[in-house]
């Protein structure tokens, strides 16, 4: 009984202490507000490596590669055909011989040659023709027609350009696909006829387009004439010797740029188509023949029999009684 009163006195104290302890958080919130959460800590920013696209390796930059050199090849020969390497001597050509830049080829009387450049170019040289190779690559063939007549074919779509220059002037034919015939008398008269495609003919600062079925003529010091249709026939007039001797003159006229053969010998007409040639005759009967060929492929011929008699007259016997 003696211990009861003190315990009763301590109970209110303990209850009050507990209440105070419980009230402390509420007071803190009331006076100071709710505690703020610490700001979130951002993760450290790490440096990001720069990513660049990787280019494929490139070849060293330098001068463009020069065009690949090509060659022409003689595939068909008839008669006496000769070739010259650079400034060397003329020698007999052989079928299959290759022609490169600075080489020349010529056909003598009664001969012809066919030259090809892969599948892109074909050149047919008539008798009495000379052609020199100036430049030769896989995309360009530049030739020089010294004299005579050639027929050229350039395959369409082959990406190949052929230039045929004419000696004795500045005429030039250019084709990237087609077929044409070109003649040159060696002193400035050039004729060209086109059979397939188009061919550009230039000279004396003038340029014309010669289309299939047309022809054009270049005279010394002049530009090419305006293209005209290829004539249906070929003019040929011949003056035969009236009093033939062992040496006789045969003359005449044909189309300018045409080709004349007198007894098989190639003769170059002048700018107006006039020609003349001295022929050797034998005693007795002789048959003379003149053939004309135009760049348009037209032909004409004339023949004449002439008789040569160079025997001196027999001695005349005079009757002695005639003077009596």
Residue 262 lies in a domain: yes
Q: Would you say residue 1 has pLDDT above 50?
A: no
Measured between alpha carbons, how far apart are the two ends of the chain, in Å?
Answer: 231
pLDDT of 80 higher than 60: yes
Cα 273 from Cα 234, distance rounded (Å): 11
Same-domain check for residues 183 and 215: yes
- Whole-model pTM: value is 0.74
| Dist. CA 248–CA 52, nearest whole Å | 91
End residue of a domain, out of 203, 229, 255: 229
Contact status, residue 217 vs residue 295, Cβ threshold 8 Å = no
**pLDDT for residue 310 is more than 90:** no
- Determine the average pLDDT of the residues in 115-120: 93
Which of 180, 205, 229 terminates a domain? The answer is 229
- In whole angstroms, what is the distance from residue 79 CA to residue 228 CA? 35
The pLDDT assigned to 26 comes to: 56
Condensed to tens digits (0 to 9), the pLDDT of residues 82-92 reads 999 999 999 99
pLDDT tens, residue by residue, 138-174: 899 999 999 999 999 999 988 999 999 999 999 999 9
Taken as a whole, the chain contains a residue count of: 324
Tell me, yes or no, whether 313 lies in a domain. no
Q: What is the pLDDT of residue 193?
A: 98
| Strand partners for 73 | 98, 116
Q: Do residues 207 and 261 both lie within one domain?
A: no
- All residues at 6 or more sequence positions from 79 whose CB lies less than 8 Å from its CB, including other chains: 107, 108, 109, 110, 111, 112, 127
* 181-229 tens-digit pLDDT: 999 999 999 999 999 999 999 999 999 999 999 999 999 999 999 999 9
Interacting residues of 61 by C-beta distance below 8 A, sequence separation 6+: none
Looking at 157-309, list the stretches that DSSP marks H as alpha helix, in order from N- to C-terminal side.
none
Q: Are residues 303 and 176 in the same domain?
A: no
Burial of 196 (0-12, 13-18, 19+ CB in 10 A): middle
8 Å CB contact between 155 and 120: yes
Buried b (16+ CB within 10 A) or exposed e, 37-50: eeeeeeeeeeeeee
Joined tokens for residue 296 = 């348009």
Phi, psi of 323, deg, nearest 5: -90, 0
Mean pLDDT (whole number) for 258-275: 93
Looking at the fold, whether 156 and 137 belong to one and the same domain comes out as yes
For residue 44, what are its two tokens?
């450290």
Residue 132 lies in a domain: yes
| DSSP strand pairing (247-254 vs 103-107) | unpaired
Which residue blocks in the chain are alpha helix, DSSP H?
4-32
Residue 130 domain-assigned?
A: yes
Q: Is residue 304 part of a domain?
A: yes
Same domain assignment for residues 197 and 302: no
pLDDT value at position 318?
58
Q: Do residues 174 and 302 both lie within one domain?
A: no
Lowest mean pLDDT among 102-111, 232-241, 303-312: 303-312
The reported pLDDT for the residue numbered 11 is 62
Cβ(279)–Cβ(287) below 8 Å: no
Q: Per-residue pLDDT tens for 27-51?
A: 554 555 555 555 555 555 555 545 4
Q: What percent of the chain has pLDDT over 70?
A: 75
Higher-pLDDT residue of 204 and 6 is 204
Please count the structural domains in the chain: 2
Q: Does one domain contain both 147 and 258?
A: no
User: Tokens 């022409």 sit at which residue?
Assistant: 72
At residue 70 the predicted structure's pLDDT band, cuts being 50, 70 and 90, is: confident
Q: Is the pLDDT of residue 137 over 80?
A: yes
pLDDT of residue 212: 98
Enclosing domain of residue 271: 236-308
């Amino acid at each position: 009984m003696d211990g009861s009163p003190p315990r009763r006195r301590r109970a209110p104290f303990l209850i009050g202490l507990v209440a105070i302890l419980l009230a402390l958080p509420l007071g803190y919130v009331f006076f100071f507000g709710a505690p703020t959460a610490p700001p979130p800590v951002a993760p450290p920013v790490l440096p990001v490596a720069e990513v660049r696209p990787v280019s494929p390796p490139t070849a060293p930059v330098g001068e463009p590669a020069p065009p690949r050199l090509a060659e022409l090849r003689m595939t068909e020969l008839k008669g006496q055909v000769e070739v010259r390497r650079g400034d060397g001597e003329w020698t007999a050509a052989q079928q299959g011989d290759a022609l490169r830049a600075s080489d020349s080829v010529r056909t003598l009387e009664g001969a012809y040659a066919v030259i090809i450049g892969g599948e892109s170019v074909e050149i047919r040289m008539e008798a009495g023709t000379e052609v020199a190779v100036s430049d030769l690559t896989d995309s360009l063939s530049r030739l020089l027609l010294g004299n005579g007549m050639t027929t050229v074919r350039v395959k369409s779509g082959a990406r190949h350009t052929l230039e045929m220059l004419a000696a004795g002037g500045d005429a030039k034919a250019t084709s990237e696909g087609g077929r044409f015939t070109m003649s040159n008398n060696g002193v400035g008269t050039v004729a060209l006829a086109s059979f397939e495609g188009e061919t550009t003919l230039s000279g004396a600062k003038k340029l014309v387009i010669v289309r299939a079925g047309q022809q054009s003529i270049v005279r010394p010091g002049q530009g090419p004439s305006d293209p005209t249709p290829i004539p249906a026939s070929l003019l040929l007039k011949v003056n035969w010797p009236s009093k033939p001797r062992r040496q006789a003159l045969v003359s005449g006229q044909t189309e300018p740029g045409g080709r004349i053969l007198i007894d098989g010998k190639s003769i170059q007409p002048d700018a107006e188509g006039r020609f003349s040639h001295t022929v050797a005759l034998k005693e007795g009967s002789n048959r003379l023949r003149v053939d004309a060929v135009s760049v348009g492929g037209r032909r004409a011929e004339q023949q004449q029999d002439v008789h040569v008699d160079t025997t001196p007259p027999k001695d005349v016997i005079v009757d002695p009684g005639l003077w009596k």
